Amino acid sequence: MTIVYDRTKTVVRRHVAPGEAVPLHPEAVGFAGHYDFDIDVLAAYRPTGKGRVERQVLIVRDYVLSGRSFSSVEEMDAAFATWVPQRRAQAHRTHQQIIGERAARDHVALKPLPSTPYLVAERHLRPVGKDCLVAFGGNLYSVPARRVQPRQLVEIRATKSQVMLHSTLADSSGETLLATHPRAVGRGARVVDEAH
């Protein structure tokens, strides 16, 4: 139902004084809404709150990585896979339950994932040029001339492989998507759909 986060920039828009409401990043709020959970931000200056999460890194370092060298990622993965059953058979120091049994019970309590994953994308507002091209990342991407005006702001939603251009206002059918292009590699490219 709730996930506790540290005050990282991907979750918290800006830091505020203790006791004030923490402004959350809109993308984090969208992600939490998509997967149906609430965000709980750790109180400022409470190092004990995040220690349980960060302790797991030290445990893996001490019991899997320490004093060893690996020639490949696969070899490291194999060492980790060999250690996990040993760890899951131990009693947890805090709640004194067997880690593997508690994990199985917790897993059953989880909600099912939505049928579509959350799309993680950079979002930017950019003006449309007179030539119906929008600049992003040192490249130009086309939008349909009949659906935009010069200097109109459009929203860019960019993933690692795609650039989607959306109008800030929906059309008569409620649609905002203007164009989808593969993301250009490098700089100086013109990605143009001739139909635009």
Mean pLDDT within 69-89: 95
Residue type, 171: D
pLDDT for the residue 188: 95
Residue 16: pLDDT band with limits 50, 70, 90: confident
Report the DSSP beta bridge partners of residue 141.
134, 191
Confidence of residue 169 (pLDDT cuts 50, 70, 90): confident
Q: Determine the average pLDDT of the residues in 80-106.
A: 93
| The pLDDT of residue 51 is above 80 | no
Q: Which of 156, 121, 115 is closest to 135 using CA atoms?
A: 156
Cα atoms in the Cβ-side hemisphere of radius 13 Å centred on 128:
23
Supply φ then ψ for residue 166, to 5 degrees: -120, 145
Confidence at residue 156, expressed as pLDDT on a 0 to 100 scale: 95
**Which residue type sits at 47?**
P
d(CA 1, CA 53): 18
54: pLDDT confidence band, cut at 50, 70 and 90? Answer: confident
| pLDDT band with cut points at 50, 70 and 90 for residue 52 | low
Environment class of 154 (CB within 10 Å of its CB; exposed 0-12, middle 13-18, buried 19+): buried
Per-residue confidence (pLDDT) for residue 53, from 0 to 100: 64
